[in-house]
Structure 1
């Protein structure tokens, strides 16, 4: 069945009024290039009500009358896509992790993201339009990571893995949430933190409805469909390779770094998260690697004595009530905080 036949069948099946059917026929007659895009979206909507709502949104704003972008930013993150490719990209940039021989690349399993810092990096002081959306599969054996992300202001959508431990429903969920924003809000800035080509129809729809679209992702994993095709396009690509040190870090013991800075205190450090340590590494323009020994002891790792001393001074100046010194190496008891 071709796209036009599929579309006609769905319009007839979904119970639109005669006036709505006429409006939809007129819309697609004037916008033939939209037929394939719309047909590709319809299966992403779980219910007939959602499908009707999507199709109605197309005729609520006639073609060519979209409002000018208002500058508000809406952020959508495919966390699984971000993490999987990030472990390769950051591994190669930092020369850290193990070697994936099939891919001929470093694979950095200790990589972590501070999603609040990621959001701050992407927003860069701009106004956010609604809660950021992040989707991904539930990380076994618990979802403490996702609870932390939710506490940073993200709307979190979780899916379990299938019997083969593969990701499922991630793209579909992000597309549905993204399309609701694109078709119901005044056009602004649509930020997609993902690199999968499956998101291309959604990006096309956003551009058509006069949104500016920013794709933030790793250079090595970005689909060519998500790259701007012309110089003055409203589609922009921002490589995370250029800014990963502002939101990415490594967690766990490191027995290869030459210098270990130990920070301890009975009260202040208990109130810390990873953000306070991230601030230190960002100020030094370094990729951070640290390990929480327990809730009152954290180790920071450095290759260079100069940066070790700078970090020590930075911590002492900012937090006068903590104790900071060079630690003797010992096996870590805890890998995350």
Structure 2
């Protein structure tokens, strides 16, 4: 029973606990390997683990981002040997994370990780090339932005905050209207004294004053709350501006990569179109004459000599061109 409880406890995955582990991860072999083993133990939660890894990586400074990449490297390489899903799960997150480690202090270390993955066949050559391109391609204003931790920006929170500010504004306007509808002048003491003609009327005035003060206090509290909400909204808008600036830079990198790929495809098509006319005279099996008699079943077809270089050249050409794409 004790062993069963321990096993159940070890198999429990807590997102908040894992996030704290990532934030406290040290750049040491023991620290990285211990957390790597923890991730592998909870590999059934690989999608959540990778999502939280990327979330934390956005928050921390460049040095800590490198440490998180070391952790990912350890998990990915072990998973490759064992056939775990981490290799595939990490792939899209790595593309996003690579744009966050362009700082010169960590760039070369990240490139070494990519080189190891390439040499050991962790990912294919095309994927490694994409990661390298994302890492080495710089965008305007990127150096200053990437040196600072990116905010954990979520558009949903911004939308909710805008709605909250609108509700506060409506509440403040309503309280101000109620305050203005009160005909009692709280700022004119002489007018208040003049209205006190008898004791009964004095009690009514006191009641009105108390009611007016309560309305004023409610209005002031609403204003204070609205100011707080607006301050948070301004901060979220600034975070959103930074976040979307980075996203725009990443989109430009991807768009430029596709543009270059399209240009190379068009160039290959043009070269193939130029080569097509010459292929008519280079067929490895010559076409028979129109008036040639049909061959008998025992007839042999004359094929080109093996020394004929044309077919080999064509095969080499196609292979070399396709490899450049």
TM-score, normalised by the number of residues in structure 2: 0.16
Higher percent of residues as helix = 2
Rg (Cα) greater in structure: 2
Q: Judging by fraction of residues, say which structure has more strand.
A: 1
**TM-score with structure 1 setting the length:** 0.16
More relative contact order, 1 or 2 (CA 8 Å, 6+ apart) = 1
